[in-house]
Amino acid sequence: MTGQRSSFLLERAWVDGAVQSDVLVEIEDGRFTSVTPGGSGGTRLRGLTLPGLANCHSHAFHRALRGRTQRERGTFWTWRDQMYAVAGRLTPDTYFELARATYREMVAAGYTSVGEFHYLHHQPDGTPYDDPNAMGHALIAAAAEAGIRIALLDTCYLSSGFGRPPEGVQVRYTDGDADGWAARLAGLDGLDHPTVIGAAIHSVRAVPRDQVPTVVEAAAGRPLHVHLSEQVAENDACLATYGVTPTQLLHDAGALGPRTTVVHATHLTGADITHLGTTRTRACFCPTTERDLGDGIGPGRALELAGAVLTLGSDSHAVIDPFEEMRALELDERLATQQRGHWTAAELLAAGTAHESLGFDDAGTIAVGQRADLVTLSTESTRTAGAGDDEATAVFAATAADVTHVVVDGRVVATSDDHEDIGRELAIAIGKVHA
């Protein structure tokens, strides 16, 4: 796309840590070449424009469960049974269609990058596809068509639980051992697409301790993600098996650090928080999912004070709304502490734009040289009218439905005119999965 230029005049925009007026942004080859408050010219975007929002934790196929798993009583584990039933049915073709529709919903909601935590690798009987990365390639192609930037976090998943082999649909997830996983991962490199190939440890349940160092080694130079302490039962089983918490296990294996993102980090000890903080590990909270699954409320502020960096994700997609995730960080902390005012709107916006968790270190601000992502909100909707037009409006009043215009890498990828079409596409793709 050499030489592609465009320019927008942003009525109000979050630039340099403040909302400024009439910001002229010029874009060339997908990056900002100038950002000028008080400017003129360019295509005018009314409302409040934010940097692109980052969805740091996604399982695209879980979108097929929305409104279904919530119908009955149950636990995290009964939810997982229903999720596995969908996982058992998907093919590269149906997964492509479902992921494309889900990513279109995401991008229309204001997410410009997604971290896809991907473990559904093989055929239903566990045999690799002819292309052993057929599923990963389907996800990358789906993201490309939807216009969202993807970091494929290819996930190592080897055991059903501590010391238990994969069972049922889990045979689709496993590569036998960490060496097998690393060999398949290497096959994903060298793609001609603005894609990051990252690595993931599903959890300390699913990767035995002696296999973790192999994953850490293969993840060198890549983002490394891992589900951590979402459920108390996982902590208890880890303590019973190894005598340490999951965080301690990862710390001992050299898995923590600034390129690592631990997902959920809900049930932590004081020592766990210290380890995550001193290593500057990122912690991805997924509040709408953690709420839906009854996981609990993680110690967000304590992690941040210890030195960890908070990021956000929509995970199971019970909700796809980055504004809801941002404010939930503050509002859930209020419920947990019975006190208000833990995070400023600017801090919540920083958590919502943490693209570096996905290896996109040059996204997340409207500044010269950065990837040109823009998310414009209406400040005149039934939700935002009268709420002002600054960052607090975005974080505490807006919803995904207020997003009117989305630019990713300089390209317009969604407008409010697309909502009906995306709804139709989701209904068809999800209908096929449940047929």
> Residues interacting with Zn ion, by CB under 5 A?
315
For residue 417 the two structure tokens come to 């005119």
**Three-class SS string for the chain?**
CCCCEEEEEEEEEEECCEEEEEEEEEEECCEEEEEECCCCCCEEEEEEEECCEEEEEECHHHHHHCCCCCCCCCCHHHHHHHHHHHHHHCCHHHHHHHHHHHHHHHHHHCEEEEEEEECCCCCCCCCCCCCCCHHHHHHHHHHHHHCCEEEEEEEECCCCECCECCCHHHHHCCCCCHHHHHHHHHCCCCCCCCCEEEEEECCCCCCCHHHHHHHHHHCCCCCEEEEECCCHHHHHHHHHHHCCCHHHHHHHCCCCCCCEEEEECCCCCHHHHHHHHHCCCEEEECHHHHHHCCCCCCCHHHHHHHCCEEEECCECCCCCCHHHHHHHHHHHHHHHHCCCCCCCHHHHHHHHCCHHHHCCCCCCCCCCCCECCEEEECCCCCCCCCCCCCHHHHHHCCCHHHEEEEEECCEEEEEHHHHHHHHHHHHHHHHHHHC
Q: Which is nearer to Zn ion, 315 or 325 (CB)?
A: 315
Q: In the bound complex, what is the minimum distance in angstroms from residue 227's beta carbon to Zn ion?
A: 5
Quick one: 304 or 315, whose CB is closer to Zn ion? 315
For the bound state, the minimum distance from the C-beta of residue 225 to Zn ion, rounded and expressed in Å, comes to: 9
Out of 315, 321, 373, 409, pick the active-site residue: 315
Task: Say which of 227, 264, 267, 355 is annotated catalytic.
Answer: 264
Residue nearest to Zn ion (CB): 315
Nearer to Zn ion, 13 or 90 (CB): 90
315 has catalytic annotation:
yes
Q: Are 292 and 318 in contact (CB under 8 A)?
A: yes
Q: How many CB atoms lie within 10 A of CB 202?
A: 21
Contact present, 71 and 292 (Cβ < 8 Å)? no
Active site annotation includes 361 = no
Q: Write the CA distances from 133 to 63, 185, 367, integer angstroms.
A: 21, 8, 36
| CB of 47 or CB of 352, closer to Zn ion | 352
Q: Smaller CB distance to Zn ion: residue 100 or 225?
A: 225
Provide the token pair at 230: 């979402």
Using the minimum distance from each CB to Zn ion, give the nearer residue, 315 or 373.
Answer: 315
Name the residue nearer to Zn ion (CB basis): 116 or 315.
Answer: 315
Query: To the nearest whole angstrom, how small is the minimum distance from the Cβ of residue 267 to Zn ion?
Result: 15
Residues forming the active site:
264, 315
